[in-house]
Structure 1
Amino acid sequence: MSERPKTIDFGAPGAYGAHLFRVEIAAARNESVVIVEDYGYRGQEGGIPREEERVILPRPVWSAIADIARREFNDRLKAAGVLTGRWHTGTNLVDRLLGKELCVLAWAAETASEDKIAVICSKWAALRPEERWWLFAMTVAEAGMPEDTQRGWRRALFLALSDGEKPVSRKRRPRPVEKDLFELPLFEDSK
C-alpha cells in the first residue's frame, strides 16, 4: 500500500517553500477574506514577488461560495487518496491548482448579488478543472490584482457565470470519446 503524500488543509504540499495559495479568514465576521498566491521558493528569484493578493472578498460572498468549493475540492482530494480539508479561521493552505480554481469562483462572485451567487456556484461546479485553470491564466494576465474587479476577464467571468438560472441537477455528462487523429478519413489512403 502506498503512503499518502503529506498535505495540509486542501491538498497543499507539506514541504516548506512550495507554490500554493493561502486563504486568510479573519476571526471577526465583518472582516474580508483574502486569497493570496504564495510562490514559495520561486518567488525569491529573478524579481518575481514572493506572493500576490489575488482577491479580497466581503465575508457574505465568502460564506456563499465556501461550501461549494470545499465539497468540490474534497471530492477530488478523496479521489486522489489525499486527506480532505475544511475552512477555518486563520490561514488555510490550498494546492496551487485548486487555488487557481478558487480564484476563478471568487472573481466571478466578488461583485455578485446574493441571488446570482447560487447560479455562479453551479456554473463553476459544471466546469472541468482544466477549464478553470485556463480561465485563471487568462484573467490573471490582465486583471489578477484585488483592485481589478471590473476589468477585462474579471468582468467577463462574472457575466459568463452569472447569466441564466441555477440548474436543477449537478450531474455532469460524460465527454464523448474522441477518435484518434490518425484514424480520421483525412489520413486514409485513397485508391
Structure 2
Amino acid sequence: MSGSTTTVNPWTLVARSFGFDPEESRHHFVVYIPRGAQREIQISEHLSWDERTGSSPVTTGQAPDGQIRAVLARPKWDAIADVVRVEFNRRLKRMGLRTGSWRLGPNLVRREMGKELVLLVWAIEDADPSLIPNAIANWQGLYPEERWWLYTQTAAATGHGLNDRGKGWRKAVRYALTENPVTTDSVARPTMPEFYRRAEAGPQAHFLLERDAPPDDLDADLLEPDPDLTQDEEDDR
C-alpha cells in the first residue's frame, strides 16, 4: 500500500482530476492505481490539501484525514472503472468542468463523486464477480443524493477500508446493491427506498448482522440535493 499519495506535481494531478478544485473545497478522494494487473486499487479520503505537497498522507489508522476507505482487487476495478468514468464525466460536462480519466498512480476525485465511487466499491469488494453487473445497475439507478446518504451512513459506522470490511452497513450495502433483483424496465428505479427504511431501523433490519448493526442514534447527515447533479439518460461515450 502506498503511504503517500504522489511524487507528481500536485497541480498536474488537479488538472487531470475528476472535477477536484482545491479553491472550491479541499475535501477530495484519491484513487491510487498501481502498476501490475494483480495489485489492488486503493481509495482514500482526504480532508486537506497543501499547495506544495498536495493531498494529505494516506493512513491505515483511525484519523479521518487520509484514511483508506476501500481496497479493491484489480479485476473488480476493471469491471467498474469505465462505467464510473462515463457517469462522472457526463455530469462534469454538465457542470462546465474538465473531464477526467483513470491513470496509473494517484487520481483525484471531487468529494461527492468520491463518495459515490466508494459506495459502489463497498458493494462489490466481497461480492461474487458475477453479481457486479447487478451492483452497477442498481448503483446507476440511484440519484447522487441517495448515494451520498448511503455513503455517509456507512462511513460513520463501518467506514475503515481495512478493519470494517464485511461488517454492518458495509454488508448491508453489498446486499442492497448486488442481491436486489435488477428491473428490466429502464425507467423504473431499483428497490432501494425499502433498503433505506430497513437501514434506518438499525439492528431490526433483517439483512444486518445483529452484532454489527449501526447504532440507532447514528446521525444521517443527509445532504441537500444539488440540481447540477441530477441524472439523465445521456451517454457521452
Short-chain TM bin: 0.7 to 0.9
CA separation in 2, counterparts of 1:151 and 1:167?
27
The equivalent position to 2:152 in structure 1, one of 112, 137, 156, is: 137
The alignment partner of 2:69 has SS state of strand
Structure with more helix by fraction: 1
Q: 1:54 offset after TM fit, Å?
A: 0.2
CA separation in 1, counterparts of 2:79 and 2:182?
14
Which residue number in structure 2 is paired with residue 189 of structure 1? none
Give the gaps of 5 or more residues in structure 2. 1-13, 51-55, 57-61, 190-237
The alignment partner of 1:85 has SS state of coil
For residues 91-111 of structure 1, what are the alpha-carbon distances to aligned partners after superposition, in whole Å with 9 as ceiling and x for unaligned? 100000100000100000111
2:54 is equivalent to residue 38 of structure 1: no
Which residue number in structure 2 is paired with residue 98 of structure 1? 113
Matches within 5 A, 1:1-191: 8-13=16-21, 15=23, 18-40=26-48, 49-147=64-162, 148-168=164-184, 170-171=186-187
Alignment length, in residue pairs? 166
TM-score by length of 1: 0.78
> Which is greater in Rg?
1
The alignment partner of 1:24 has SS state of strand
Evaluate the alpha carbon distance shift between residue 169 and residue 51 of structure 1 in structure 2; reply closer, same or farther with a 3 A threshold: same
Q: 1:138 offset after TM fit, Å?
A: 0.4
Evaluate the alpha carbon distance shift between residue 171 and residue 76 of structure 1 in structure 2; reply closer, same or farther with a 3 A threshold: farther
CA separation in 2, counterparts of 1:41 and 1:138?
25
TM-score by length of 2: 0.64
Q: 1:50 offset after TM fit, Å?
A: 3.1
